[in-house]
Amino acid sequence: MAEVIKCATRDAYGRTLVELGDRGANIIVLDADLAEATKTGMFKKAYPDRFVDVGIAESNLMGIAAGLAATGHTVFASSFAMFAAGRAFEQIRNSIGYPHLNVKIGATHAGISVGEDGASHQCCEDIALMRTIPGMVILNPADDIEARACVLAAAEHDGPVYMRFGRLAVERVFDENYKFEIGKGNILSDGTDVTVIASGLMVGEAVTACKKLKEEGISARVVNMATIKPIDRDIIIDSAKKTGAIVTAEEHSIIGGLGSAVSEVVCETVPVPVVRVGVNDVFGKSGPAVELLHIFGLDADNIVKKAKQAIELKK
């Protein structure tokens, strides 16, 4: 059996910032006193002259990022998802989104898998918030390979990007040959009875769920949707047509995230049942990350259950 590689997407974020520096990319990295945790500390160590810690002031973090971008710089601004998308929402909306400035927000510690810190830090609303900002690109990678690809793509992209990374080390889904493109989902395995559309750490769970469903004679397509905005309408419509039922899976509130984005496309094009796996409009709580994921139904078993429900709704 091949060795299982586990890595947190935040680690890939830090490493890829250094890689961008090594390539000579003219980036500036900002953090708000969380450089060790967000992993921008790796960049700080390698390129101290291109790193600025603004201190515990996320609103000002985004404003400074906007000002730097307005003077022609490509800026990566980092904090935890709760404080980046949450506290600084309006700064992102008005100072970055409205003028469409070249700021790449690296938001780490997203979702329930923050673990022991509990509800105050478990941000399950960030994608919903960011989706409402016109022109914002939202990327939620599944593993370290995809996280690296997202950071490289964000650096090339002209305009604001919100990148969502996790604290927890997760199993690798992709291999080194993986090709990522903003706005494109990809089919990890094809099937005919139901489609599971997943993002972030739920992609690995979706792959496991697909195997379990197969053992029960159910053929599931698995779609990895790393770009939440702009959402890949074509792959959703194709999946709705070919499988007639969809389950979405995300480590985010069922309100406003991937589940909502997929439902919006399905409702307006090929209305088929959509059942959402996510955080069910509740706050999180403290506990070990993996245990919490099971408690909140963010696992393969729940995807299997919801897939059967979706298939049942077809009838």
Partner 1 sequence: MDSIRKKELQVFAAKARMGVIEGVYNAKAGHPGGSLSICDILAYLYNCEMNIDPKNPKCETRDRFVLSKGHAAPALYAVLALKGFFPYEDLKTLRKSNSYLQGHPNMNKVPGVDMSTGSLGQGISAAVGMALGAKFDNSDYRVYTVLGDGELEEGEVWEAAMFAGNKGLDNLVALVDFNNLQIDGTIDEVNSAYPIADKFKAFNWHVIEIDGHDFEEIENALNEAKNTKGVPTCIVMKTVKGKGVSYMENACGWHGKAPNEEQYNQAVSELNAKLEELEA
The answer to the question of residue 177 lying near partner 1 (CB under 8 A) is no
R_g of the chain, CA atoms, integer Å = 19
Of 12, 17, 18, 68, which lies in the binding site for partner 1, with binding defined by CB under 8 A?
Answer: 68
The answer to the question of residue 247 lying near partner 1 (CB under 8 A) is no
Of 65, 81, 262, 265, which lies in the binding site for partner 1, with binding defined by CB under 8 A?
Answer: 65
Candidates 3, 19, 58, 181; catalytic one: 58
Distance CA 60, CA 102 (A): 16
The answer to the question of residue 136 lying near partner 1 (CB under 8 A) is no
For 128, the token pair is 């919903």
Burial of 216 (0-12, 13-18, 19+ CB in 10 A): exposed
Stretch that binds partner 1, among 86-94, 190-198, 267-275, 289-297 (CB under 8 A): 86-94
Q: Are 243 and 193 in contact (CB under 8 A)?
A: yes
The answer to the question of residue 94 lying near partner 1 (CB under 8 A) is yes
From 91, 105, 89, 233, select the one nearest 159 (Cα to Cα): 105
**Looking at beta carbons only, is 62 or 84 nearer to partner 1?**
62
**Looking at beta carbons only, is 130 or 303 nearer to partner 1?**
130
**Looking at beta carbons only, is 61 or 258 nearer to partner 1?**
61
Rounded to 10°, the helix 300-314/202-215 angle is 60
Cβ 102 to partner 1 shortest distance, Å: 12
The answer to the question of residue 198 lying near partner 1 (CB under 8 A) is no
Residue 90 a catalytic site member: no
Q: What residues act catalytically?
A: 58
Point out which residues bind partner 1 (CB under 8 A): 28, 50, 52, 54-55, 57, 59-60, 62-73, 90-91, 94-95, 98-100
